[in-house]
Amino acid sequence: MTLIFATNNDHKVQEIRNALDSHFEIISLKEAGIHQDIPEPHDTLEANATEKSRTIFNLKGIDCFSEDTGLEVEALQGEPGVKSARYADNEPGFADNIDKLLYKMKPQTNRNARFRTVISLIMNGDEHQFEGICKGAITHERTGTGGFGYDPVFIAEGATQTFGEMTMEEKKQYSHRAKALKKLTAWLKENQNPAQ
């Protein structure tokens, strides 16, 4: 089965491909020749995920999915949350986002946080959402150079290394994205047209 993944984030494409079995073929926007800036104007992950998948579905009229992910920190009342990509200012710049997070977390003893992913699938024009959560904690400094985004400052529950120190294979055992994807693929296997 072939699906367009409505994202401009190459790391997400790699992780999703790595987590899927060979039954599914994922085409990124770049590969589909779609150079569309996808808006994320809403204040929930759910609404932004819908916006991304609907934008591509309305443009191309083909089945597709998107995902929106946020890092939700308990001591910061859920920040950066839906603003994770642009926490430090309005331009996405990752070093600054982590610097701001570590600065705000300096006085906090409660380091609890979670990554939350919401996948929005548009199939035959109807939307279905799937959520994946990974609980963990924010470290005091960056460790590791792997992964992307906030990975160097997040340790998943049950892990001893940050996501930044893990291989993609290791991150998959804990990851929010892999959990949401598992629900998506289970749903697709139950509901897809066998001819596809």
Q: Nearest-CB residue to ligand ITT?
A: 149
Please check whether residue 178 is in contact with residue 19, taking contact to mean a CB–CB distance below 8 angstroms.
yes
Asked if 63 touches ligand ITT (CB under 6 A), the answer is no
Choices 17-25, 53-61, 122-130, 142-150 (CB under 6 A): range interacting with ligand ITT? 142-150
Q: Which stretch binds ligand ITT (CB under 6 A): 3-11, 55-63, 106-114, 120-128?
A: 3-11
- Residue pair 64/1 in contact (Cβ under 8 Å)? The answer is no
Span 64-83, contacts to ligand ITT by CB under 6 A? 68-69
Buried/exposed 57-75: b ≥16 CB within 10 Å, e otherwise: beeeeebbbbbbbbbbbbb
3-state class of 37 per DSSP?
coil
Q: Which is nearer to ligand ITT, 24 or 150 (CB)?
A: 150
Cα separation, 170 vs 172, in Å, equals: 5
85 binds ligand ITT (CB under 6 A): yes
For residues 59 and 66, give the distance between their C-alpha atoms in angstroms, rounded to a whole number: 14
Among 103, 109, 115, residue whose Cα is nearest residue 159: 115
The reply to whether 126 belongs to the active site is: no
Kindly tell me which residue out of 63, 149, 162, 184 binds ligand ITT, with binding defined by CB under 6 A.
Answer: 149
Determine if 84 is a binding residue for ligand ITT (CB under 6 A).
yes
Give the C-alpha separation, 175 to 181, whole Å: 10
Q: Of the two residues 10 and 189, which places its CB atom closer to ligand ITT in the complex? A: 10
Nearest CB to ligand ITT, comparing residues 9 and 18: 9
Strand, helix or coil for residue 32? coil
Residue 151 near ligand ITT by CB under 6 A: yes
Site of interaction with ligand ITT (CB under 6 A): 7-9, 12, 38, 40, 52, 68-69, 84-85, 92, 115, 147-151, 163, 177
